[in-house]
């Protein structure tokens, strides 16, 4: 078994799924995988993730320079590098333009962090970054602090960044994030979302920590508050 070749295939298979799901369009989005402490494979600039081939992946260092492979590395490589530098436990990253998630940022509407049990358990909360000009080093600046604590970020007016110990891990987090956005979008269409009772959120927060999914205090304090002013419907 050739680990390097297998990883290239897995990265491309994940990229194809992301495209098939409609989480990117055209040449949007990028995927990467760590292959050494200071090396990663990343999709090339201007490629369609739905057509990405293993031989097209580019090996780069953490300075952002190509080490091997054809073409130019993704212009969003700085964001990926920032994630790997701050998270030695992370081996894969996916940047998508997941439409439902992006729509919430365009509308200036919060994806209620206190409504969906699966989202609370898996993520604690999902921070929204500041806006950054796509394809620039600003991308690294807006994610570098938040990614140290959270595995899924919403990029204002841009998309998502999910990280994981494997490509599958990063992909499933993206899947759960965008699915949650769709559910909340439908709830908003029906009028509002109703938050879980604070004691139920507290149980999920404790379970999150017990299962090793993250810290209990990742869950927003307002979700566990008994103050009626904090327990508003969104």
Within a domain: 229: no
> What does the alpha-carbon distance between residue 162 and residue 167 come to, in Å, rounded to a whole number?
10
Q: Pick the residue with more confidence: 141 or 227?
A: 141
> What does the alpha-carbon distance between residue 48 and residue 43 come to, in Å, rounded to a whole number?
9
Is the distance from CB of 89 to CB of 103 less than 8 angstroms?
A: no
Within a domain: 154: yes
Q: If you count them, how many residues does the chain have? A: 234
Q: In what order do the strands lie in the sheet with 30-36?
A: 66-68, 58-61, 39-42, 30-36, 92-96, 159-164, 152-155
Listed residue (156, 38, 18, 39) closest to 94, CA to CA = 18
The pTM is what? 0.93
Within a domain: 234: no
Per DSSP, the residues of 197-230 read: PHHHHHHHHHHHHHTTSS-GGGS-GGGG---TTT
The pLDDT, as a whole number, for residue 191 is 86
Strand, helix or coil at 21? coil
Stated as kind and residue range, the H or E segment containing 60 is strand 58-61
Within a domain: 18: yes
The pLDDT, as a whole number, for residue 2 is 81
Q: Cβ-count burial of 62 within 10 angstroms (0-12 exposed, 13-18 middle, 19+ buried)?
A: middle
Within a domain: 44: yes
Q: Please give the residue range of the domain that contains residue 183.
A: 3-224
Q: Find the CATH number of the domain harbouring 214.
A: 3.40.225.10
Within a domain: 207: yes
Per-chain mean pLDDT for the chain? 93
For residues 101-111, give the mean pLDDT: 92
Confidence of residue 233 (pLDDT cuts 50, 70, 90): very low
Confidence of residue 114 (pLDDT cuts 50, 70, 90): very high
Q: How many CB atoms lie under 10 A from the CB of residue 100?
A: 19
The pLDDT, as a whole number, for residue 109 is 84
Per DSSP, the residues of 138-170 read: HHHHHHTTGGGT-SEEEETTTEEEEEESSHHHH
Strand partners, 152: 162
For residues 12-18, give the mean pLDDT: 98
Listed residue (148, 155, 88) closest to 128, CA to CA = 155
Q: Pick the residue with more confidence: 227 or 234?
A: 227
> What does the alpha-carbon distance between residue 113 and residue 72 come to, in Å, rounded to a whole number?
38
How many structural domains is the chain composed of?
1
pLDDT of 70 higher than 80: yes
> What does the alpha-carbon distance between residue 105 and residue 156 come to, in Å, rounded to a whole number?
6
The pLDDT, as a whole number, for residue 231 is 47
> What does the alpha-carbon distance between residue 9 and residue 46 come to, in Å, rounded to a whole number?
19
> What does the alpha-carbon distance between residue 182 and residue 133 come to, in Å, rounded to a whole number?
26
> What does the alpha-carbon distance between residue 31 and residue 171 come to, in Å, rounded to a whole number?
10
Active-site annotation holds for 76: yes
Within a domain: 92: yes
Check 76, 178, 209, 226 and give the catalytic one: 76
Within a domain: 230: no
Q: Pick the residue with more confidence: 70 or 144?
A: 144
């Amino acid at each position: 078994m050739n680990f390097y070749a297998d990883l290239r295939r897995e990265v491309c298979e994940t990229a194809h799924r992301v495209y098939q799901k409609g989480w990117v369009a055209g040449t949007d989005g990028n995927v990467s995988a760590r292959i050494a402490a200071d090396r990663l494979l990343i999709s090339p600039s201007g490629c369609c993730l739905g057509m990405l081939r293993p031989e097209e992946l580019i090996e780069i260092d953490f300075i952002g320079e190509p080490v091997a492979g054809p073409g130019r590395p993704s212009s969003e490589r700085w964001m990926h590098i920032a994630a790997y530098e701050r998270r030695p436990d992370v081996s894969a990253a996916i940047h998508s333009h997941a439409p439902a998630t992006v729509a919430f940022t365009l509308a200036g509407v919060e994806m209620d962090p206190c409504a969906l049990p699966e989202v609370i358990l898996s993520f604690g909360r999902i921070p929204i970054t500041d806006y950054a000009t796509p394809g620039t080093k600003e991308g690294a600046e807006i994610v570098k602090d938040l990614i140290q604590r959270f595995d899924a970020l919403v990029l204002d007016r841009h998309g998502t960044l999910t990280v994981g110990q494997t490509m599958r891990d990063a992909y499933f987090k993206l899947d759960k994030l965008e699915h949650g956005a769709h559910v909340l979008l439908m709830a908003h269409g029906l009028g509002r979302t109703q938050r879980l009772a604070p004691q139920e959120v507290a149980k999920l927060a404790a379970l999150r920590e017990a299962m090793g999914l993250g810290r209990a205090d990742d869950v927003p304090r307002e979700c566990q508050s008994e103050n009626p002013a904090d327990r508003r419907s969104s």
